[in-house]
Every structure is written in C-alpha cells, then in structure tokens.
A and B are shown apart, each in its own frame.
Chain A
C-alpha cells in the first residue's frame, strides 16, 4: 500500500527514472518494517484528512524551520507563505527537484541544512544563556 500508493506522491518521476535501484532499496526498507494494518492506516489517514492547523500556527513561538519540496503535490508550496507568516519566528527552506520527501530525495543536503539550523540556533541560545549568567 505504502510502496504502490504513497511513494508516487512522495518521490519525483525524475528520481524513479534516474535511480530505480535506490527506489527499490526504499521499498525494501519499508517492507522490512512492521506492517501497519489497514484499520490503523485508515485511522491515521482520517486524522490527516480532517486536520486543519492554520488557526494553531500562531501559537508556535519556538524558532521554526519550515521545509518544502519544490514539486510536492501532497502538501504544496502554496501553503508555504501562509505558514511562514503565521509562525512568527520561522525560516522557510525549499528543496529543489524534490517532491514530498526531501529526507529521502536529497538526504545529504537535507541533513546538512537542517543540522545547520539546529546547531546554529542551539549555539546562539547557549551563548545568550551564558551571557545572562555573566550579566547576573
């Protein structure tokens, strides 16, 4: 179900054409994990279908990195600007040549850029915190 029904929404046609062995390795990985029952899949799917987070976004005060794949047809970039506006302390990062899963389509780039975000701001927070101690 995941491999036949969800993969095509998550990965670009170009990736299927360029790296069929990699697609196969992702399929093998999914098959190696505990299978989800149809009932649980429908329960989680209904949670997605009935959800609208827009009114909740302004409650997020933590510094936030929003990422999209440029060619995502599941959660399109048409939502990107609205998300960025409503999450007050946010940055937006769009991965080119990706669909819904930059975590698999551009692994190295995704890891590098998200780690950079986390580490940069964690270091800044630590410096700010130690600064407060020094001032005290």
Chain B
C-alpha cells in the first residue's frame, strides 16, 4: 500500500481504477477497505483513492486529542500531498463529506457525497 506524509503524520491509502479521482473517507474505526463493495463498481469509472484516517489501519496513531477539524486538516493535506488539484469527495458517518469538506476547504473540488 502506498503511504504519504501529510500534516505531520504518515497516511496509508489504496488506489484502484482509472478516471477522475474520487477520495473515499472511512467511518469510525474503519480502514480504507470499508469501501470494498463500492470500489468494486466505482473503480470502473473513477480513480478510487481510499485512505486510512489518523488512528486507523496503517496510518499513524499519535496520542492527543482528535477532532473532526484535525481529521479534515489531515485529509486536505493528504490531497495536496498526493498532488490532486481537483477531486470528487465521499465520506460516511465520521468520514462524511461535510465534516471534512469545510475544514479541508474542498469547495473547489468537483462533487461531494455525504452519507450521514
């Protein structure tokens, strides 16, 4: 799995498919694989980039207080670090788009899927 340094942590992610980039943000406690059922279809049309949030999977798990603002900053830094100027963003529950969209300042991105 590829890893990238972002917001002072090392973040793990998976990339599958071709097409415009689609960032998939996991829910509470889950790693990138939680979107396996979706990536199987989405990857036929999009480059699916599923990441491990701070505290899950193979991304760093530093001590300290976590907030959704901090997680949003991580996602924004991740998007910059992998060099994506514009993407579709999808998230579920903890990872839902709106929690990260505002903090990540991704209003410049293409479309957002917010799964509450």
Give residues 87-116 of B contacting A (CB, 8 Å). 88-90, 92-94, 97-99, 101-103, 105-116
Interface range on chain A (Cβ under 8 Å from partner): 35 or more
Question: Is A132 positioned at the interface, with any CB of B under 8 Å from its CB?
Answer: no
Residues of chain A within 8 A of B110, CB atoms compared? 62-63, 121-122, 125
| A35 → B minimal CB distance (Å) | 9
Beta-carbon contact of B112 and A60 below 8 Å: yes
| B108 → A minimal CB distance (Å) | 8
- Cβ-Cβ contact count across A and B, 8 Å cutoff: 156
A-B contact pairs, 11 of them (CB 8 A): A36-B56, A43-B64, A43-B65, A44-B29, A59-B107, A60-B101, A62-B110, A67-B114, A83-B114, A111-B37, A118-B45
A interface residues (Cβ-Cβ under 8 A, vs B): 1-2, 6, 29, 33-34, 36-37, 39-41, 43-48, 50-51, 53, 56-57, 59-68, 72, 74-75, 79-80, 83, 87, 100-104, 107, 110-111, 114-115, 117-119, 121-122, 125
